[in-house]
Structure 1
Amino acid sequence: MARDAEATRERLLAAATVEFAAHGFAGGRVERIASQAECNVRMIYAYFGGKSGLFDATLAQALRRMAENVPPRPEDLAGWAGDVFDHHQRFPEVLRLSMWAQLERPEAAAEPSDVYRDKTLAVATAAARPLTAVDVLVFIYAIAQAWQFSPEGLTGLEKNSGTEEALAARRQAVVIAVERMLQAGT
């Protein structure tokens, strides 16, 4: 049976996404990743050079996919903030990987700077003064990601916090907050 290197690489990245999102870099185990990917640990070293290379590639892939799935909309930054909120609801592992990288491998979190540069350039024309494009992006991400970072003890105080209606209300709050931020900056 012929080996499909690209399929093996993709299985490793998919398994690594689950493992590293759940356990971080330090707690992630290459043995579990290889087992989930139905290959051996040697393949991790062959394709990625080791655990750190696999983590970095996993993070970069997750961030690039997010950039592809949720490109900035300079003409509607508030709506884009809602899209970022939606993406994190559907793919919470992206935020988890990002947080683990910030904590354990900050050098990996800076890797896809071209993704952020492209977003900054796209937003630059819509940036509200005196805010810069970078300021606007940071604020949008902070607002769109706030509920995922909030303690469950706090978010659980809201009645029916897990319902579709509550989720829609949170998304709307994100959009309104960005709209007001942009209005205040002009």
Structure 2
Amino acid sequence: MKKTLQVNIGGRPFIIDEDAYLTLRQYLDEVGIRLDGSESSEVMEDIETRIADLFQETLSSRIQVVNLDAVRHAIAILGSAKEFGEPIRQTTPDSVGEQQPPSPTVKKRFYRSRYDRMLGGVCGGIARYYDLDPLLVRIITLVLGVFTGLAILPYIILWIVAPMEPRQITEGTDLKDQ
């Protein structure tokens, strides 16, 4: 079961997975800080319209929710945020005038993945912790487990000991369970 959100992208309504929404929001924020203030709203509207067109092509009668793969596909077509240039401003459009210093006590913590999981979420959690592709972590775990047997016991221990990733609710959006 995944949480979904109702969003308007380029003036069109979509239902999107929470993890896909967070990825898309981060991408749009990164693009936004790289645009010149005089043209940024017009360019952002054009980018959102193009993303909406790409999502519309992806959706069918069988698939009605925009998922993380559709967002990654759209980002791959549009290009990474770095291709829009160097950051012009340090704040995101949502926090104009409220620049806050980064928190010095933020610790990185390992969780089993709630959304990117096949068996127990351990490989998805490892991938998120080290910022790797989950498929790569699964393949390495499978190879180590099958050929050497070294991955089976640590996997089971992490499955039992590691906490599940906490649920995060984005304020100002409508959440629906699917």
- Alignment TM-score, normalising by the size of structure 2: 0.28
The structure with more strand, counted as a fraction of residues? 2
- Alignment TM-score, normalising by the size of structure 1: 0.27
Higher relative contact order (CA 8 A, sep 6+): 2
